[in-house]
Structure 1
């Protein structure tokens, strides 16, 4: 199963792959060079298909937990001052996605979208400390039943040149539901109330809609 944001690119890649294989079959002898070209093209096509995969995920649908918005590795856990929406201290949990991770963004909790805003910006590497405030990004706040307002921020990286965000203010959403997509390596920051009990630690690998980030 592939994400809808990848349909066009996958079709183009298949057309190019097929055309190049036909050309190679016509002009190259069936020797090591032909098979090397076929292998390289096959690997590139496989990587494209892997990047746009969209596996079925079953979220717990539990208002007592916050699930990870994305697949990746926890790279930041710290108290920070969140200046855009809360304008006070929050507990930040950041998940870094490599180009090999699933890049679908999913709502960490069910509730009502209180805020959704796109910010143009730079393309610093995603693990740079200033990427949260200076890179291209989208900020989304979900008003939840148990945790209050929960903010997550999609952040573009050095390779991520397009952020897709489906969240619209006033919309009711469900935990684990598709909320967007980020092309190529990047990260997502999650901001929770200070004192929230976390169920993850640094360098832990998490899965979107399934791994519990925090619980009551």
Structure 2
């Protein structure tokens, strides 16, 4: 039966000439034999240790910001698994890896099977053009891995290059808040929440953002 393993790694995020210290959530979905890794950030060896002897079927990136991808090339080498990214974030990838490429693309509606559950890719632009969430209705009471699109308390940041507040609100409203209220939201940073806890605050976010 599929389970979710979680670890937090620490490092930096750099964009638009600034650098910040950040803690990132890394999510591993699978059973005792096989798994999928979402956003293996900062510390490739620590994520490999969390994977253990399991076979990594695929490495899924929620988006291309450097805190989420800077360790992924090393991690790919450790586990020999393909790295997938939405093509709209390729410019962010190229800023970190100008001479390398992801192994494949994630597109809206793609499905990834692991340990009897399906991860459904939801294209949710706004934080970045190629931001993607992964919805697994069979996990627990339903789980969505939101990267930096939706956090406990509101949408992800949109004040830097390639981001749009109006777009992220549209993505959250149309792609995430339509999920069942009991759906657990596993975020790219910070604590988990639920769709039901976040949905009532949509108008507050809109007012705050404007």
TM-score by length of 2: 0.27
Bigger radius of gyration among the two: 1
TM-score by length of 1: 0.27
Q: Which has the higher contact order (CA 8 A, sep 6+)?
A: 1
More helix by share: 2
